[in-house]
Structure formats: C-alpha cells, structure tokens
Amino acid sequence: MVQRVLKFLGSEIKGLHQAAYLLGLFAIFSQILGLIRDRLLAHSFGASTSLDIYYAAFRIPDFIFVAVASMVSIFVLVPFLVDRIDKSKERGIDFINNIFSFFFGLIILASVVAFFLVPFLSKFLFPGFSTESLETLTNLTRVLLLSPIFLGLSNLFSSITQVYKKFFVYSISPLLYNLGIIFGILFLYPSLGLMGLGLGVALGALMHLAIQIPVIIQTGFFPSFKFNLDLKEVIDIVKVSLPRTITLSLSNITILILISFASVLGEGSISVFNFSFNLQSVPLSIIGVSYSVAAFPTLARFFSAGEAKKFTDHIVTASRHIIFWSIPAIFLFVVLRAQIVRVVLGSGRFGWDDTRLTAAALALFVVSILAQALVILFVRGYYAAGITRRPLIINMVSSILIVAFAFFLVNLFTTSDVFRYFVESLLRIEDIPNTTIIMLPLAYSLGMLINLIILWQSFRRDFKEFYVPIKETFFHSVVASFFMAFTTFQFLRIFDNIFDINTFWGILSQGLFSGLIGIAFGVFLLKIFDNREINEIWKSLHSKFWKVKTIGEETGSL
C-alpha cells in the first residue's frame, strides 16, 4: 500500500494542458479547503477585531517567507538545477546541499531576529489596534514565525519536484496546509484561543513540508547540511534571485501597507479585505497560477536550449488559455458576488452587512483577475529566461501606484459625497458603515492593470518572436461571457421567487443553477463560434490526463 502511494506521488506529467488541468484540479481542492477555512473563521468571529488580529499576525512571517524563501524558490533554482543535472546528478545533489545549508541558516536567523522585534514592529505597522490587541498580536505573530521555516524548506524541495515534473506531490501540499489550519480552528482554538489558530497554521506548514520528503528521497536529492559552503554558487543564486526577492517583497509590502491602512478604517476592515482577497484568489490560483506553474519547467528548458520560437509559442498558448478562462470568471464573480460571499462565509457571526461589504470588495478585486494571471505568467517567462531585473522595475512602479491610488481614493471617498454616493450606489452598499475599505481593492486592481500593460509591452520588446493572437480569443470570450452573465442575472431574478434565499441551501441553489445555466449558454455560443480554445480543451480532456505514466527510475534529466 505504501509503495502504491509513493508511486502515485512520484507520477510524472509532461503536457502543458494536462499538467495545468491537474494542477488546476488540485488547486480547486485546495481552494475548497481554503473556503471551508474562511467559513469557519467567519462563523466563529465575523468581521471583528479578533479576526483582524489573526490576519494581521501573518504579515511579518509572510514577509520573512517572501524575502528569504524567494531566494531559493523553484523559479530561481529550476534553471540552475536543470543545468547541473544535465551535466551529472552528483553535481545537482551537491548544488542542493549547498543551497539548503545556506538557506536554512538564513531563515532561522531571520525568524529569531523577528521574534524579538515583533512588539516594536506591530505597534508601528498597525496603529489602529489598542494596547491589548497589540499584545495579542505580538504573541500570535511569534507562533506564526514557525511557518516561514517549514514553508521555506518545502519551497526549496519543490524545485526538485518541479524539475522532475512531480506535479502530484506539488499539488497535494497546499491541501495539507489548509487541513492543518482547519484542525487548529476546530480543535485547538476552543481550548487555546487565538494561539490555537497559530499552532494550526504551523502544523499545516509542517505537513506541507513533510509530504514532499518521500518523493525527494526517491529522487536521491534529499539534502544534507554542510559547513564548507561554496560561496561562489551561493552568490550566483543571490545575484539572480535578489531582483526577484525584492520584486516579491515589494508586493508583500504593498499588501502590508494596505492592511496597515485598513487597521484605521474601522473594526473588521482587515477581515473584509482578507476575505475578499482570498475569494478572488480562487479563480486566480486555478487559472493563472496553474498554467504558469505547468509552463515554467518547459519554458526554462526551451530557453536554456536556445529554442526561442518554442519558448514564445509556449507563452502564447498559455496566454490564450488564461484569457479564455479569466474573462468568464470575472463576469460570473461580479454577477454572483453576493451569492458567493453568502454561501462561503455567511454563517454565525458573519452578518448581512459583512456579506454586502465583502461582496463589493470582491467585485473590485476580480476585475483585475486577468491582469493578475497574465502578470504571473509573464514574470515566470522572464525568470525562465534568467531575466529578473525587468519584472523588479515594473513591479516597483506598480506597487508605488497601488499605494498612491489607495491614499488618493480613500481621501476622495471620504471628502467627495458625489464620488462616495456613486460607488456605494453602484455596489449597493450605501446604507452600511465602514464602506471606505472598498477603495483598497479598487486601488489594487488599478495598479495591477497598469502592471500588465507595462509588462506586456516590455515582453514584446524583449522577445521579438512574441506575438499573442488574442483578438479572436478575446472577442469570443467577452461576447460569450457577456451573454453568460446576462443569462445568469436573469435566472437569479427568476430563482429569487422559487428558492428561499434566506437559507443556505436556497441561496446556494439560486447562485448554482443560475450560474450553470449561464455557463451552458456561454459554452453553446463558443461552440457556434467554433472557438479554438474550447476545442483544444475538449481534446486535452479526452486525453485522460489523470491516467499518467509513472516513471520507474529517474533519468537525471528533463
């Protein structure tokens, strides 16, 4: 039985669509667990100060994870690892041992330093919290400092699973992470309070790491600690990773500033921001992240081999399908935003006002899903090509714009009655308090849209062969999505008189059946258009991508 499990975890998937769909499938499972996690949190706390503290406690550990773990992420290590494995497996093992030793010492040092600085940082970063809240925040943050250590090591191991295309184990890890958090909510919180939630997060991070260990051992790449580091190799990694580390750190700092801003906008504002951000991350993870992760190893191989045309063709294919999937997701989420939020979070202490405010924030986040997804893909393309400074500069501009938009929009919203009334009326939240929080998602989306425009033009300039024939794809997707959304909206009104929308099953049925009818109509239109993407998807689904061939012995190369 154990051998069969290990064989399953060690399965290899080679095709872009097959790998993307598999990653997407597991991303759906992970997101479902994530939604269950958020529902349990919403049920227990509502949009409250306690939940604000919980979400705020993630910011410092998250920053450490991003700032340190990104130095040895799969997007930095894969090209190096591929190059060394192609020469000899022994060189690849020595490389992993060297980087593991450097990283492990660095992240332990960062976590210890942060442990002592947390009280001062928390007071500075979250001025809206009371003294009592800051004390609780400090203690919880210290517990959560375990997570970047475990997740950082897991991130390092992922570079090996990605090189060998072990997408199964890569996909299962996030499931275990969310299961650990859910365990903390259900079993540790009742007796330990917020500290129990923190221990649940640490447990999930440990399981995220542990599931990869058997497969890493199977490949023969399980690292060992060494004191005589090859500093030249470490410096080479740092030189390549530093721009990416700063890029990701800027994104993390941007979110941190927005959450810091939210701490002074009223009780529950941080919770509303995080709930809506997590919900918009569902389609983003399933679409953008899945295609980007699936494409990256092949992109790195093509660029390393000097096959520029194949490199850009791979980017083009992924871009077309991201556009194809993202636009319908935007339309559906905007139309069904209230039903989505109420079904996922509407329980216990999470009231109707919380639902409406979170739904409004969700709508403003999802308008940039396509931009976010394509940004992820293009940045991965740059990393596969070994170009890290360009995304850094573009992301820096985007981050500055997001923060600037946030300050400007919050000020405009609080000083201009006309603007505030227009936005509140448009999103139907004019009669509830603390609506200023919705300016933060709007600022984020505006910044990401500008990020995509700049990045797209930069990619076209740097890769002359890059040309995305999106006109037809975009037209088909927009037209089908518009009529899909219109159909969905009309059936929402019809089912409003059939189902009792004051109950969970009633509002679930209303949103589900309306959405399914709308999707069916959209697919019907795409078939009439003889849409290229839907034909490719149909062909890929018929390839039975879940029945993958298992490798009996590693070859040591891609």
Residues 425-431 have a mean pLDDT of: 92
Q: Which residues contact 326 (CB under 8 A, 6 or more apart)?
A: 283, 287, 288, 369, 370, 373
* Residue 481 domain-assigned (yes or no): no
Hey, what are 239's tokens? 């030189």
Q: Which domain holds residue 435?
A: 2-468
Total structural domains in the chain? 1
* Residue 375 domain-assigned (yes or no): yes
* Residue 496 domain-assigned (yes or no): no
pLDDT value at residue 86: 72
pLDDT at 90 over 90: no
* Residue 523 domain-assigned (yes or no): no
* Residue 59 domain-assigned (yes or no): yes
More confident residue, 110 or 236: 110
Cα–Cα distance for residue pair 310/544, rounded to 1 Å? 25
pLDDT at 38 over 60: yes
pTM: 0.83
pLDDT-wise least confident of 51-55, 293-297, 470-474, 499-503: 293-297
Q: What is the DSSP string of 135-176?
A: HHHHHHHHHHTHHHHHHHHHHHHHHHHHHTT-HHHHHHHHHH
Where residue 555 falls among pLDDT bands split at 50, 70, 90? very low
Burial (CB count <10 Å: 0-12, 13-18, 19+), residue 132: exposed
* Residue 553 domain-assigned (yes or no): no
pLDDT at 165 over 50: yes
Chain-centre distance for alpha carbon 422: 31
More confident residue, 427 or 552: 427
pLDDT value at residue 535: 73
* Residue 510 domain-assigned (yes or no): no
Which of 182, 111, 196 is closest to 145 using CA atoms?
Answer: 111
Residues 279-292 have a mean pLDDT of: 82
More confident residue, 71 or 279: 279
